[in-house]
Amino acid sequence: MGGVAWEMGIMHRIGLDAGSVSVKAVVLDAKGRKIIGRYLPHRGRPLVTALTLLKDLASDLSSEKPAASISITGSAGRLIAESMGVEPVNEIVAQALAVNVLYPDIRTVIEMGGEDSKLI
């Protein structure tokens, strides 16, 4: 794992997934290790829930160098990404890239979401 953001000295990366049922977020440190993970059901309000979750993460990171990189996926991710002025990431592409880095020998992924299922 690496990426332009880490090469430029950014200390954290945020991954946000907004699905049909919940919003999940993870913060990775400069070495790609998970340091914070959050899950909140959105009850039909993904944008409000995502903003609440991101404020909580910002509060948790307030004593550290702030994250300057975010990637957003999921069925409600486009709405959230557009409201933040960032480009959403296709969740299938994100899953394939993550599995390739974390588990390079794995060839098949089954993802079961609240709205649909995917075989990658």
**pLDDT tens digit string along 60-107?**
877 666 656 899 999 899 999 999 999 999 989 999 998 998 899 998
CA nearest 42: which of 71, 70, 15, 16? 16
Distance between CA 76 and CA 74 in Å, rounded?
5
- Whether residue 1 is predicted with pLDDT greater than 50 in this model: the reply is no
- Whether residue 2 is predicted with pLDDT greater than 50 in this model: the reply is no
> Which SS3 state, helix, strand or coil, does residue 17 take?
strand
Task: Give the Cβ contact number of residue 80 at 10 Å.
Answer: 24
pTM of the model: 0.82
- Give the pLDDT score at 4: 41
Give the start-end residues of each E strand in 19-103: 22-28, 34-41, 69-73
Q: Which residues contact 91 (CB under 8 A, 6 or more apart)?
A: 17, 73, 74, 77, 111
Average pLDDT, the chain: 85
Mean pLDDT of 21-47: 92
- Give the pLDDT score at 108: 92
CATH numbers and ranges of domains, the chain: 4-88 (3.30.420.300)
- Give the pLDDT score at 64: 63
